[in-house]
Amino acid sequence: MSEDVESRLAELEARVAELERRDQADPTTPSSGGEIAYRGAVHLHGDVDWSIGYSPDAILELTVGRTSEVLAALGHPVRLQIVRILLRGPAHASDLQEAVGLGSTGQVYHHLKALGSANVVEQHARGEYRIAAKKVVPLLVSMLAAADISGELGT
């Protein structure tokens, strides 16, 4: 399946999930209103268009375990460097090891395992890793949000 089709399918799945979530909302729960949304059209190692929006209340009800696993995986400097490289395109573990300056392949595989467990990266071919098209924009938004929170953007 092409990355464009994967991206469009992921967008449709997200929209259906949001509609289903809205249908199942508890009418007795007060809503703070509003929407948190992000979108992106990215041309890195393929064309990706992505858009998603959720109510603040729904975001605060998301599972803490999976969210914290992703944030923890991205919170390690070496892993974030690996993600930055893979956002530009697939790479072999040996290339990642060299690019981030790790002393052994065991170290790079340790970090790739953590990123894989958090569903951030996937093994594409033997020894080659990539980021799925549907995760490109969310990862870039996460990095942008972290830079904003840290004050790096001057906002």
pLDDT, tens digit, 9 for 90 and up, residues 60-104: 888 899 999 999 999 999 999 999 999 999 999 999 999 999 998
Given CA atoms 71, 76, 77, 78 in this order, what sign does their dihedral have?
negative
Residue-wise pLDDT for 108-125, tens only, equals 999 999 999 999 999 988
What predicted TM-score, i.e. pTM, was given to this entire model? 0.76
Given CA atoms 49, 53, 59, 63 in this order, what sign does their dihedral have?
negative
Both tokens of residue 18? Answer: 């949001």
Domains parsed from the chain with CATH numbers: 3-60 (no CATH), 64-150 (1.10.10.10)
